[in-house]
Amino acid sequence: MSRIRMHPSGREVECQEGDTVLSALEKAGYALPNNCRAGACGECKVKVLSGQFDQGMVLDMALSQAERKDGYGLMCMAKPISEELIIEWGTADARPKLFPPRENVLYVVTDRIPRTPRIVELLLRPLGTPLRYWPGQYVQLGDERAGAPPRCYSIANAPRPDGEIALHITRVDGGSTSSWVHDTLKAGDVVSLNGPYGTFIGDPSVETPVLCMAAGSGLAPILALADAALRRGYRLPVTLLFSAREKADLYEQGMMAYWQQKHRNFEYKATLTRETHGGLCGRIPAVLPSLFTDLSQHSVFIAGSPEFVEDCVKAAKALGAKDELIHTEGYFAQQQPEYPSADRLTAVA
């Protein structure tokens, strides 16, 4: 195993034997620009300041002989062969680069799973090249021919090798698209997605404890973010607070139990606002001070209705949370015409 150090930030990433520099960085959450992943486009070109690496087969048009002599390499093909490899890549450059959105990308509905009385989960598999996205982003789903205009829904899972996407869709009274999903769409149907969109992704290079707060189907992007962090071996504490009205509105309990058993740094707490259940009761802003005394060193992610997000932000700031470490995603209802493309839906808890 080798170690990749980024200069001038000094951050380090482990590189398993056989992995390229690009794949090692991606596993650790860094977003090095790339395209072909085959040594042909040159987008992943960086300067190597120290250490040795096997460049592999690359095209001269992507990496000239002069560039090679100056120490540059293509990280999609480069494999470290020294204990340490130092590359010139600053903290700003290591932040996520958003993938260009695509339109009318075809997916097949492989399953639909009722999660609560009002939330259904769609599992979608790509027919061609899958969408590339960052955990926390969202896509547009709809069918104009069926009277279901495209609406925006957060992706509920981190990127997978098979390209599968999970969406959690709340039935909204009078919502034509959510009604189409709940009443008409079935397994085997082909749908088209647009995206990805959104910047609810934070900076994966930031190393702090993480607090996630969600209500209703606002849990979807939070699940994607937590899934990605835990899968890449994030070691600092990750706490997920979920607010629902009643016991029937709690979902993904099995996954939460699995994560708590598998990852000692992960903790899940649910609170109900209209029932008692032997756990926390009340809205998250009200119970937060009993759980934390200081959030000044935490990265905070909040997803839910605008009112929920606003109240959670105020509660977090009262405990010292810093503006630059607070990330929010507010969901608006379909029937609000002033927000035609921002209706990732949630129950107000």
Q: What torsion, rounded to 10 degrees, do the Cα atoms 15, 16, 19, 24 define?
A: -40
Q: Do 138 and 97 touch, CB atoms closer than 8 A? A: no
pLDDT for the residue 205: 63
CA 114, distance to chain mean position in Å, is 22
Cα distance between the two ends of the chain: 47
For residue 155, the one-letter residue type is I
pLDDT for the residue 182: 97
Q: In what order do the strands lie in the sheet with 84-88?
A: 12-15, 2-7, 84-88, 45-50, 72-74
pLDDT for the residue 338: 29
Phi-psi region of 21 (alpha: psi -120 to 50; beta: other; left: phi over 0): alpha
| Dist. CA 187–CA 168, nearest whole Å | 15
pLDDT (tens, 9 = 90+) of the chain, 349 residues, equals: 899 999 988 889 999 999 999 988 877 767 677 767 888 888 889 999 999 999 999 999 899 999 999 999 999 999 999 999 999 987 766 666 778 889 999 999 999 999 999 999 999 999 999 998 989 999 999 999 999 999 999 999 999 989 999 999 999 999 999 999 999 999 999 999 999 888 888 766 678 999 999 999 999 999 999 998 898 888 899 999 999 999 999 999 999 999 999 999 999 999 999 998 888 999 999 999 999 999 999 999 999 988 999 999 999 999 999 998 999 987 755 433 323 333 343 333 3
